[in-house]
Amino acid sequence: MIMNRDELLQRYAAGEKDFGRIDLSQTNLAGVKLSGTNLIRANLHQANLQNANLSGTFLVVADLSEVNLSDANLLIANLSGANLSGANLSGALLEEATLSGGNLTGVNLKGANLTGAILCGAVLQNANLSHANLSGANLYGADLQGANLRDAHLKGANLRGANLQGATLPDLALQP
């Protein structure tokens, strides 16, 4: 179902929260508040969601490729199996978010807060995680081939079974 920004926001303001399978590709949704919504299998390819509040939102198996989610609030959001390849999530709040099995190839997570996030089995090849906070994050079995983890905070992170081939790692000796 294709919907424009105004219709989406009117329906959300009226209390509707189920927007599964919606097509919002290339839509400018910068700064919107859609917390707690169902966007399962939504098409948000190349959408602008900069500074959006998507806390508690279900984006399971959603197409978020090349989306701009910089500085967005995705606190406790579920993005399991989502396609985030080439997305910009720099400075995003992803604390306790679930990204298990997601495609995050080439994603920009510079300075993002992923404290306690679940990234089990996620593909983060060539991702930029520099200055990201991954404290307590679960990256069990994640593919971090070629990822940039320079100056990332990994205190308490689970990297068991993760593929770190060619990854740029932080100097763990300097971490508190």
For the domain that residue 117 is a member of, what is the CATH number? 2.160.20.80
- For residue 170, the model assigns a pLDDT of 82
- CA-wise closest residue to 157 among 107, 108, 122: 122
What does the alpha-carbon distance between residue 57 and residue 55 come to, in Å, rounded to a whole number? 5
User: Over pLDDT 90: what percentage of the chain?
Assistant: 94
What does the alpha-carbon distance between residue 138 and residue 141 come to, in Å, rounded to a whole number? 9
DSSP letter string over 107-150? Answer: -B-TT-B-TT-B-TT-B-TT-B-TT-B-TT-B-TT-B-TT-B-T
- 171, exposed or middle or buried, with CB in 10 Å at 0-12, 13-18, 19+? exposed
Counting the structural domains of the chain, the total is 1
Distant-in-sequence, close-in-space partners of 38: CB < 8 Å, separation ≥ 6: 17, 18, 19, 20, 57, 58
What does the alpha-carbon distance between residue 56 and residue 175 come to, in Å, rounded to a whole number? 30
Please write the tens of the pLDDT for every residue from 112-145.
999 999 999 999 999 999 999 999 999 999 999 9
Residue 126 lies in domain: 1-176
Q: Which single residue is written with the structure tokens 């709040």?
A: 93
- For residue 171, the model assigns a pLDDT of 73
130, 151 in Cβ contact below 8 A? yes
115, 133 in Cβ contact below 8 A? yes
Which residues are 73's β-sheet partners?
A: 53, 93
Q: How many CB atoms lie within 10 A of CB 160?
A: 11
- For residue 47, the model assigns a pLDDT of 98
Task: Provide the 3-class DSSP secondary structure of residue 17.
Answer: coil
In tens digits, the chain (176 residues) has pLDDT values of 889 999 999 999 999 999 999 999 999 999 999 999 999 999 999 999 999 999 999 999 999 999 999 999 999 999 999 999 999 999 999 999 999 999 999 999 999 999 999 999 999 999 999 999 999 999 999 999 999 999 999 999 999 999 999 999 887 544 45
pTM greater than 0.85: yes
- For residue 173, the model assigns a pLDDT of 41
Of the chain, the end-to-end C-alpha distance in Å amounts to 49
